[in-house]
Structures are given as C-alpha cells and as structure tokens.
Structure 1
C-alpha cells in the first residue's frame, strides 16, 4: 500500500516483481489479444448485440489482462450477455452485480468492474452511415476519429450546455455519466475498504472500441480530475494496440501501487466544491455501496448537477 512518502514500489523493486511479470505477460500475449479484439470489432454477432460484444471483448482481452488474477465482472443484465468470448478463444465471460450507489444519489450499474474496484463505462458509438463505411475501408479507424480540442481548453472546466462533441468519450452526455460513476464509485469503494483505498484518487475509465479516457476522484479530499484528452487504443500501425496506452491503463488500474496516497493534499490540488455544494445531500454519498443491487439505471437523479463541477487537470 502506498504511503504519504510516495508509491510503495520503486523502480528497483519493480524489477522481478509481480507487477513486472504482469506487464511482460501482457506484451507476450498482446498479439493474441489484438486478434481477439479485432475479430470482435469486425464481426456482426447473431446471438448478442454489438455493444455487448465490444464491452465483453474489452473486459476479457484488455482491462482484465492488466490486473492480478485477471479479475473482472461485466454487467450481468447487459443485453444478450454471452457465456463465452465471441472471438473464438472460448474464454468464460464473467457476468456479475456491478451496481453502485444509494437511493439518494446516482445509482445504477457500471458496464465493467475491474478487480472489484475500478469502474469502466463503455461509450455507445453512433451508427455508421454507408459513406462512413466506405471511408473506413480506406483508412484505419483510429485515424478517422481524431479529437480536436477547441482552443486547447479544459474539457468540462464547467459542466453545462448540451453541445455534442465529435468524440463519444468527450461528448457532454457521456461526460456526465463518467463523472457520476467516478464520484459514486469513489465513495462506494472507500466505504467498502477504508484502510486500503482512503485518500487515493480512484480512477474510472471511459472506453470505446478505439479510445480510452480517464477520470479520477478522491472522495475525502473532494478532488475531481479528468484527463483532458482521450488515448487512442490502436497505434498508427494498423491493427496494433498502442503500447503506450496499454502502459497508461495498467498504471491507473494498479493505482494503489503506482500513485501516492493523499496526493490531492501533497500536490495542493484544488477541491471540486462538490462537498460544499451538495450540503445535506453529501450524507447520501457517504452511504453509497458496491453491489447495492439496483436493477435500473436512473440517470435523471443527478443531485451534483445543481452545482458547477470544476474539473482540474494534473498539469494545472
């Protein structure tokens, strides 16, 4: 466990450690996982939905491969959830209770729960038109969906308006979702394991078939961060998972080893103001739970939307 003096593992200790073995293993197996994900993205499933297939593929072949014992659960209520991976590897798909929240807050089910701790929200990509399909045959997918950040501004410096973003993960609707899940899961995880997770910036991932975004929340210090860009999942070399992105995902998935406890205070990060503005509603967040068995999502319950959420980035 990390301490106030810094991460619990040094570069010297990293060599020969379990964490190094995990990284070596994922890169040894990367071609197999690349092939598996590509097959799922290219196929049109007959027994499940495309969204569910992408969710299970990323859970089974990507996120779970970067944590000890490959532990993950996908939402067992997902539409037509398959029992085995559809890429042909026949690996078991682990469905489970991914619900978080409390009646007074956002409550619902996250798409993927990695290592019982980290939530992953899968962005639903819009249908592809005939013209776009023709274009995709001529150019790699990751080059078609480059995000242009307007005037280099912070995304969500202030969450308001209804402007649609070119990127699925940076679109306002999805951004509201990932912020809600990051805040709620942050409280729930600390409530579940106070001794281990208290005062950490707990990550939540957003993901599509070709990009990943990251949000962090420390519920004790009320520090909310969102990395102001998305990471491409595929490299410029077609059909190759981007190695830098894999390392970034791995580092955040193993945040208790590679990040500093109480970093928000040590780095003097500004508070989001959520605690203050929620006032009496804060008590409901402090009662949030994992596996709370909420059957339905209730996106209309957004008490945090009464306040302006300031999202501060690590480089500010």
Structure 2
C-alpha cells in the first residue's frame, strides 16, 4: 500500500510540473555554467576572492564617499560552490522530473519554473534608465518575482509623496515596492542608504562605474549585441560603495540573525546591462566578486528576455537564506583582511550596526554664532552713514 501511495504521489508531482523540454534544456545549460570546472569555458560564472589593501571603513564615512582599494587573489572558484544546496535542488529536479519533498524547496523551485515559463520577457528602454530606476525595474520584474516574498523598499531620498513606479514600457505594470528608510550602518563607521532593500534581506545597488561590455562602442565579435556581450573586469575597483554596503550588511545580518548556519551575505550590483553579485562573510572575513553576467537578450523592438544564467543566479541569490551553503573550506584561506583594516572599530561592526534610523551628521548646516567687537560696530555705523550720505549727494547731482 505504501509503495502504491508513493508512486501516486510521484506521478502527481510529475503531472503538476508543466515545463517544456526546451525550458528544461535552458535551465540545465544555465545551471551548468555555474558548475563547470573548465578554464576554457568562457561563459562559466566564477567567484574571485579579494583582499582589502586600504579603506576608510574605520571612519564615520557615508557609502557615497567610501574608499576601498582591493586586490584580487590569483585564484577563482565556481559560483555554484557557495550554492550547493540550490544547485542540488535544480539538478535533482531536472534529473528526476519530480518536485522536492521539502516544502520550502518545492516552493522555491516552483517560483523558478513559473518564471521561466511565463515571466521572462520585459519591455524596457534600459539604456535610458538611471541607476536607481534600473535597480527598481529589475527588482520588480526579476528579483522580486523569484523571491518567496516580493516586497521591497526603495531609497526614500527625493521621493516626495509619489509612489514607486516601474520604468518598463508596460503602462499597466504594478509594483510591490514602496519608498522607505533603507539606511544601514553606524555613523561612526561606514553607513548610508541603499537603492533597494528586498524583504530586509538583500541589497540591490546600481553601479556608479559599471564595467563596459566589449562591443558597446564597437562591433562585438560573433555578432553579439551590447546586451549579450560578456565583460571581465573587476567591479570592486570602480565601485567601493558596493564593497562597503555588502560588508556592513553581512555584519548586520550576523547581529540580527545569529542563529543562521553561515554569514556569507550577497549584494546585487546592476548596471550597463550586466549583473554582478558581491559577497562578504563576516564570520570568516572572505570577500568574493562574481563574474559579470549579461542581463538581457533582445527578442524584438525594445523587448528583451532575461538571460538564462542571470535568472538562475538571481533565483539562487535572492533566496540565499535557503539555497546558499556558505564559503567552502578552500575559500576560507583567502582572507579579505577587513578585520585587520578596522580592528579599532571592530566592536561597532560586530555589535552596534542598525537597519534604519541612521542619524546623519549635519556639519554642512551647522549654525555658527557671529562674534565682533564694539569698535567694528561703531565703524560699521559710520560706514552706513557715509554710504547714505554719498547716495543722497549723488542723487542731488543727477
């Protein structure tokens, strides 16, 4: 009897999973790019460890003025190695064609499969969007759709009374976001606002100096369009605010959720039609930067499909609480040297960071009292009298 029930349940799972063969192939190929250990495979998504050479993390500096000089190690890891739990969920499903027995894994997998089937297209003039507009649009159409909960906060600066709007072309598009306080940190160390905060769990931040794809100002090899071309330069060098935000948020998550198995916390960096994921582990002091992944693939006039690899990476990252396995033992050897850089302020990073209600210094608007002598007061009165006299005499001459 038990065997028949198990078979029936298995058949039911197979029937419930309605996904086309071409979609299975695309998901498999995209997942493969996160796992393949082949230096010659140019589309492989890798992780590069970095160490901090110098920074101003020990001062009360806002993210907008963060300085962080990083140096990359001469080693790379595969992206999939920090998401072993998530990779297993996908691979087991693709191999067996059945949903996981675990309810959360099943929910997460359905989120991915539903997106792949129905929601992968977007109409947008992405080249004309500001950094924050791009972050909001991607959160609304990609990251939020793949998360267990799609609600998010957008930096309230300059928001006024307006509601959050998506910058896609679809006039009927609705958003699950609202403007609010996205500040994190402590005024005595790195602190400030982030563009988008998803469920208080994940930062989405635009890149101030996005990497330029091959083909942006010249024809791309192989007939690639600019949105499909691959980029290979480091984003950390030109975007120290991303390092600062990711590092602060990792310590904050460690303080808020000490019960978690690990504290490798990701941050989405978006810009120039590419996606990058930066990680920091505040327990093992490991800083990682992912390969830059093309976000879009053209599918018509001002219409794009999200890149298959970008979808899988986004799904894993936005659900990192469930799908991320943390740094491997090999990764722990490549320290980020942040602990050493801020040893005098380490207590603040470990115990005094906060989410929201960051009180910003107001040096620029400090009201100063004016001091002057009785001599100057007397001379000023004489000068005023002289000015009035001369003006009257000038008027009389005219």
Pair in the same fold by TM > 0.5: yes
How far apart, in 2, do the equivalents of 1:123 and 1:253 lie? Answer: 18
How far apart, in 1, do the equivalents of 2:245 and 2:334 lie? Answer: 20
Partner SS state of residue 250, structure 1: helix
Matched, 1:200 2:200: no
Matched, 1:27 2:116: yes
Corresponding position of 1:172: 237
Corresponding position of 2:322: 257
Q: Return the index of the structure with the highest Cα Rg.
A: 2
- 1:79-98 aligned within 5 A: 82-87=163-168, 88-92=171-175, 93-98=177-182
TM-score after normalising by structure 2: 0.55
How far apart, in 1, do the equivalents of 2:182 and 2:342 lie? Answer: 25
| Contact residue 205 and residue 215 of structure 1 kept, 8 A | yes
Corresponding position of 2:246: 182
Corresponding position of 1:274: 338
| Contact residue 131 and residue 271 of structure 2 kept, 8 A | no
Unaligned runs of 5+ in 1: 1-5, 127-131, 150-154, 156-169, 298-316
Corresponding position of 2:284: 221
Displacement after TM superposition at 1:14 (Å)? 6.4
Partner SS state of residue 141, structure 1: coil
Partner SS state of residue 272, structure 1: coil
Q: Cα gap change, 1:188/1:13 in structure 2, threshold over 3 Å: closer, same or farther?
A: same
Which 10-residue stretch deviates more, 244-253 or 74-83? 74-83
Corresponding position of 2:295: 233
How many residues end up aligned between the 2 structures?
254
Displacement after TM superposition at 1:110 (Å)? 0.8
Corresponding position of 2:24: none
How far apart, in 2, do the equivalents of 1:219 and 1:292 lie? Answer: 23
Unaligned runs of 5+ in 2: 1-83, 93-99, 211-215, 363-398
| Contact residue 71 and residue 116 of structure 1 kept, 8 A | no
TM-score after normalising by structure 1: 0.68
Q: Cα gap change, 1:260/1:41 in structure 2, threshold over 3 Å: closer, same or farther?
A: closer
Partner SS state of residue 111, structure 2: helix
Displacement after TM superposition at 1:72 (Å)? 1.6
Deviations 1:245-268 (A, max 9, x none): 11011112211222225x355754
Given candidates 135, 157, 173, the residue that maps to 1:77 is 157
